[in-house]
Amino acid sequence: MFTGIVTDVGTVKSVEKTGDTRFVIETAYDPDGIEIGASIACGGACLTVIEKGHAGDGAGVSVGSGGWFAVEASAETLGCTSLGAWKPGTKINLERSLKVGDEIGGHIVSGHVDGVGRIRSMTPEGGSVRYVFEAPEGLMKHIASKGSITVEGVSLTVNEVEDDTFGVNLIPHTQTVTSFGAVKVGDAVNLEIDVLARYVARLRDVG
């Protein structure tokens, strides 16, 4: 489980397509504190660490002064998320999984992407930026004004909902410490609806 509070912005260093797709991600995380098999939310998708290391000790690519870890994604994952568009240099939001007793600063996030949306517009408003996202039709009924949603692994509060779009405001801090500082209109984004909305909808459908 996660909270949607990004703790590092990693960089994709290599993409290797074999049976599945292997990504090597450069990170500021200390590799010694990452267990093989650990779950890390990468752009909002929960992925399993299969290899790790320090700069220059076997990544097969050049990384900076920090460390790296490798993950694999199946064709199913690539088709249901924005990971299929990742390439060397792509910036991605990272979050380590929760430990018992950790502060929940955002909202409960599972790391299971519900759909892929797109950035429709980005409009400066004072020091903030108003983002409008398109969402798949099946997800819009789960998105509510003033509710929570996870976009690219970031816990955000919905400002308004209109037809097939929803809007949020990102303050300068959020743009600085997440990958949103590097996005552009038209980019694909991973969406995860609020877990409470999912279960309320399920209870309504079977009630």
Domains of the chain: 8-96 (2.40.30.20), 115-206 (2.40.30.20)
Residues in the chain, overall count: 207
* Predicted pLDDT at 202: 61
Q: How far apart are CA 115 and CA 82, in angstroms?
A: 9
Arithmetic mean of pLDDT over the chain? 91
Compute the distance between CA of residue 100 and CA of residue 82 in angstroms, rounded to an integer.
Answer: 30
Short-list 135, 131, 136, CA closest to 185: 131
Q: At 48, is the pLDDT very low, low, confident or very high (cuts 50, 70, 90)?
A: very high
Higher-confidence position of 201 and 117: 117
What is d(CA 143, CA 131) in angstroms, rounded to the nearest whole number? 15
CA distance 201 to 206: 9
Nearest to 149 by CA among 130, 168, 165, 164: 168
Q: What percent of the chain has pLDDT over 90?
A: 77
Q: Residue 75 above 90 pLDDT?
A: yes
- With vertex at residue 80, the alpha carbon angle to CA 174 and CA 111, rounded to the nearest 5 degrees, is 45
Whether pLDDT at 141 is above 70? yes
pTM of the model: 0.90
Q: Which helix (H) or strand (E) holds 206?
A: helix 195-206
Of 4-18, 42-56, 89-103, least confident by mean pLDDT is 89-103
Rounded CA separation 123/31 (Å): 38
